[in-house]
Amino acid sequence: MTEPKTSAQLRAELKQMRRTIQEYNSIPADDDEALDRKLRSFLGRCGERVKVLQPFRCDYGYNVEIGSDCYINFNCTILDEAKVKIGDRAFIGPNVSLLTACHGITAEERRQGVEWSEPVTIGPDCWIGAGAMILPGVTIGEGSTIGAGSVVTKSVPPREVWAGNPARLIKKL
């Protein structure tokens, strides 16, 4: 069993990852080999034929697993305090946020530093529309579509279209 990391260790990892992300985002956009090599150097898993447009942001990188044949459009933010798994053939639109970090709701909890994280899973063959936010603990089922601008607060079953704020079922596929 792995020992939990200290706050100092986590802060150091975040600082290093910011430098790594800055390097990734500075690679010429048409240098596919360098982009792929850099991406693979910090992600926990990266399948074949993955395209992640710049700019891209994540906190740790090693908690992110991306399947094969995925496309992630520009300005994606992944707060990967917990695992973030993106299935094969997933498409993620521009300005999408995948968030795992949770904080206390009350001022007292926040002053005490109450924090935790919950994983996010995007199933295979999903499409996440532009500007969507996927909140901690959410799983998007295989083949589902999330409408642009949606805030997904609860898990979505396979093969459904959800949209809105908060996102709700629009139709079954």
pLDDT digits (tens, 9 = 90+) for 100-157: 999 889 999 888 888 899 999 999 999 999 999 999 999 999 999 999 999 999 999 9
Q: Is residue 77 helix, strand or coil?
A: strand
Contact (Cβ atoms closer than 8 angstroms) between residue 17 and residue 42: yes
Whose structure tokens read 């034929």?
49
> Is residue 2 scored above 80 in pLDDT?
no
Helices (H) and strands (E) in the chain, counts: 3, 19
- Identity at 67, one-letter amino acid code: G
- Identity at 102, one-letter amino acid code: C
Contact (Cβ atoms closer than 8 angstroms) between residue 85 and residue 49: no
Question: Of the residues 11, 37, 103, 168, which is catalytic?
Answer: 103
- State the greatest distance between any 2 C-alpha atoms of the chain, in Å, as a whole number: 48
pLDDT digits (tens, 9 = 90+) for 16-70: 999 999 999 999 999 999 999 999 999 999 999 999 999 999 999 999 999 999 9
Alpha helix positions (H), the chain? 7-26, 32-42, 107-111
Contacts of 33 (CB under 8 A, 6+ apart): none
pLDDT of residue 1: 67
Question: What domains lie within the chain, and their CATH numbers?
Answer: 7-172 (2.160.10.10)
Annotated active-site residue 47? The verdict is: no
